[in-house]
Amino acid sequence: MKRISEWVVVLMALLFVAYTTVLFNSARSALHQVETNSGRLQLLNELQLNLDTLRDDITQINSNASEILTSKLAQQCKSDTQICALNNKWLLLRKNPSTPAIQFL
């Protein structure tokens, strides 16, 4: 009887070790998943920042192109009536700032 109770204690100890090992591995796996997701979130944040910078750069380039084209058309309008018509069309188009300058070209 004493021998059986010793085996029961050993078996319970082994079950406890197995159970804690499973819990530890689950916790480690969850932590790894959190670290992976955190890394992905950081990459997504960096990508968003890069996209915002790119959008701002494109907006600035578009604005610069618009100013250059407006200036060139105004200069040419003095000597050419077709250019004047084109300039007027351009000025009307530019009243809508969401229209990209490149679309006019």
Tens digits of residue pLDDT in 47-84: 999 999 999 998 888 888 878 877 777 777 777 677 77
Encoded amino acid at 96, one letter? N
For residue 68, what pLDDT is reported? 82
In this structure, the number of other CB atoms found within 10 A of the CB of residue 90 comes to: 19
Alpha-helical (H) ranges within the chain are: 2-77, 81-94, 101-104
The per-residue pLDDT for 14 is 86
Number of structural domains found in the chain: 1
Q: Residue 88's Cα: distance from chain center in Å?
A: 39
Can you tell me the distance from the alpha carbon of 32 to that of 15, in angstroms, rounded to the nearest whole number?
A: 25
Domain that residue 52 falls in: 2-104
Which tokens is 20 given? 């804690």
pLDDT digits (tens, 9 = 90+) for 82-104: 777 777 777 766 666 666 655 55
Copy the structure tokens of residue 11: 């078996």
85: left (phi over 0), alpha (psi -120 to 50) or beta: alpha
Which of 48, 51, 49, 93 minimizes the C-alpha distance to 70? 93
pLDDT in tens, 17-38: 888 888 888 989 988 888 888 8
